[in-house]
Amino acid sequence: MLDVREVGKRFGEVVALDGISLSVGDGAILGFLGPNGAGKSTTMRAVMGLISIDSGSISWNGAPITHATRRRFGYMPAERGMYPKMTVRDQLVYFAKLAGLSTSDAASAATTWMERVDIAHRADDEVQALSSGNQQRVQLAIALVHDPELLILDEPFSGLDPVAVETMKTILAEQMRAGTSVLFSSHQLDLVSDISRDVVIVEAGRVVMAGDVQHLRERAGMRDVSVGFDTDTAWTPSIDGATVTQATARTAHVRVPAGTDPAVVLADANRAGRVVEFAFTPPDLSEVFLAAIGQVPA
């Protein structure tokens, strides 16, 4: 289990991490969310030993992380890190050997992972000749080629087409089932809720929200109501705290306080017109995220 405890880091006058804590259990996957500059990459680089920390602690399975421990981690930095003129196959073999695999095991693992990320047809092409999406696939394969215990993925979905996103989601799910712990950051919040049950949201170097995605949505201070009418209807809710967020001739999207009774809302809508569709849901993760970082009132 990865355990990051009260980690602090300053760069001169800038506080990059202000007591960040998170943990990733064995075989768990944790989404790491936050606006640019919130401290996600810095936290991940600290886990990988690429920066020193000023305070707090980082441990793996209860012990401080050493160089030997880190060789069992897989890392995918936000800025891609590969040799541009090396072929895909050589790249994977090289990193596998660096991680301690024998030459034959490295070659075998490289072949396996090129097929898994669907890049085997470009095995003998230089990385610089690949599209950014395909480079991303290679980068993921590099992180996975030595069968790591912990995966640290910094923005793994950026630049991927929908097919590649599905491939990556499948691979991450398989890794999780195989017992690999995964910490990944993303700006694509819908993807995060698809992949990860747990998230940590950070801002300005501090954790502002953490927990199960469903619970975070449930804990939000408002609910989204979607109503469809059979004819053109102008509905102005007469419910305390309700606001119309979007409306068309026959639909209305309304936000109401979390404690509001759905039956009361439905009745209010029915008074305005004949309701044919009705949904009363917690806000989605992106709204929770925006609320958490103070961009939109919950």
CB of 49 to another protein, least distance (A): 7
Residues 2-31 that bind another protein (CB under 8 A): 11
> In which element (H, E) is residue 64 found?
strand 63-64
Candidate segments 25-33, 41-49, 203-211, 216-224, binder of another protein by CB under 8 A: 41-49
- Per 3-state DSSP, the chain is made up of helix, strand and coil in percentages (nearest 5) of 35, 30, 35
The verdict on 36 binding another protein (CB under 8 A) reads: no
Question: Considering beta carbons, is residue 127 or 269 the nearer one to another protein?
Answer: 127
- Lay out the site mask for another protein across 53-82 (x = CB under 8 A, - = otherwise): --------------x--xx-x-x-x-xxxx
Helices (H), the chain: 40-47, 67-70, 88-98, 103-116, 132-144, 162-177, 189-195, 213-219, 262-272, 285-292
SS3 137: helix
d(C-alpha 70, C-alpha 143), whole Å: 12
Question: Considering beta carbons, is residue 100 or 179 the nearer one to another protein?
Answer: 100
- Lay out the site mask for another protein across 130-169 (x = CB under 8 A, - = otherwise): ------------x---------------------------
Residues 99-118 that bind another protein (CB under 8 A): 99-100
Q: Indicate which single residue of 6, 25, 61, 83 sits in contact with another protein (rule: CB under 8 A).
A: 83
Q: Indicate which single residue of 1, 15, 51, 247 sits in contact with another protein (rule: CB under 8 A).
A: 51
φ and ψ at residue 201, rounded to 5 degrees: -110, 125
The verdict on 184 binding another protein (CB under 8 A) reads: no
Query: Under a CB-based contact definition with an 8 Å cutoff, are residues 213 and 282 in contact?
Result: no
Helices (H), 145-261: 162-177, 189-195, 213-219
Contact residues toward another protein (CB under 8 A) are: 11, 45, 48-52, 67, 70-71, 73, 75, 77, 79-84, 86, 94-95, 98-100, 142
